[in-house]
Amino acid sequence: MADLFEHLDNICRYVSEKTDDLAQKISEEMALQKIQSQIREEDREISGIFQKIGEIVYEEMKEESAKDEKLKLLIAAVGIKKSSIQEYKKRMAKIKNMDTCRYCGKFVERSAVYCPYCGKKIEKCEAEEESEANLEKNDPDLTISREKETV
C-alpha cells in the first residue's frame, strides 16, 4: 500500500513538473508572438512611410518632366491604373445605383447635390451620361444587376 502511495506521489510530481514546463513554454510562446506582432506592426508602418515617400516623389515627378525614362514609364503606368480604378468605381456605382464624386471618388446618392464626404458640388455632364449609357450596354455585371432589380 505504501508503494501505491509513493507511486501516486511520483506521478503527481511528474505531472506537476510537466505542467510547470508547459506553462513556461506557453509563456515564452506568448512573449514571442507579442514580439512578432510588434515587428509586423513596425513593418506595416515602414511600408506606409515608403508609400508616402513614393507618392511625394510621384507627384513631384508628374509635375516636372521626368528625366529618367524608367520613371516616365512608371508614372504613365500609375496614370493608367488610376484611370482603370476610376472606371471600376463608376461601374460599381452604377451597379449600386449611385454616383461617384469626381473629386474624392466616394460613392454618393444619385440625388446628391453636394458630396457628403468632401463637400464639393456634384456636377453631371452630358459626356458622363453618355459614357454611363455605353457602360450599361457593354457591362454584363450591370445587365445582371438590372435583371435582379426587376425580379
> Over 60: is that where the pLDDT of 76 sits?
yes
85 and 146 both lie in a single domain: yes
User: In which band, very low, low, confident or very high, does the pLDDT at 66 lie, cut at 50, 70 and 90?
Assistant: low
CA-to-CA separations, 73 to 49, 50, 57, 65, 106, in angstroms, rounded: 23, 20, 14, 12, 28
Q: What is the pLDDT of residue 26?
A: 93
**Cell numbers of 56, please?**
511625394
79 and 132 both lie in a single domain: yes
Mean pLDDT of 31-54: 90
Range of the domain at 75: 71-150
Per residue in 12-28, pLDDT (tens digit) is 999 999 999 999 989 88
Q: Tell me, yes or no, if the pTM score tops 0.85.
A: no
Per residue in 88-147, pLDDT (tens digit) is 888 888 888 888 888 888 889 988 999 999 999 988 754 455 555 555 555 555 444 444
Q: What is the pLDDT of residue 90?
A: 82
Looking at residue 94, its amino acid is K
Higher pLDDT, 11 or 64: 11
How many domains is the chain partitioned into structurally? 2
Pick from 42, 64, 86: which residue ends a domain? 64
Phi, psi dihedrals of residue 59, rounded to the nearest 5°: -60, -40
105 and 46 both lie in a single domain: no
117 and 53 both lie in a single domain: no
Q: What is the pLDDT of residue 14?
A: 93
Helix orientation angle between 126-138 and 140-150, rounded to the nearest 10 degrees: 90
pLDDT above 90 as % of the chain = 26
Q: What is the pLDDT of residue 104?
A: 87
9 and 56 both lie in a single domain: yes
Higher pLDDT, 71 or 116: 116
52 and 89 both lie in a single domain: no
Pick from 15, 47, 64: which residue ends a domain? 64
75 and 60 both lie in a single domain: no
78 and 44 both lie in a single domain: no
> Over 60: is that where the pLDDT of 148 sits?
no
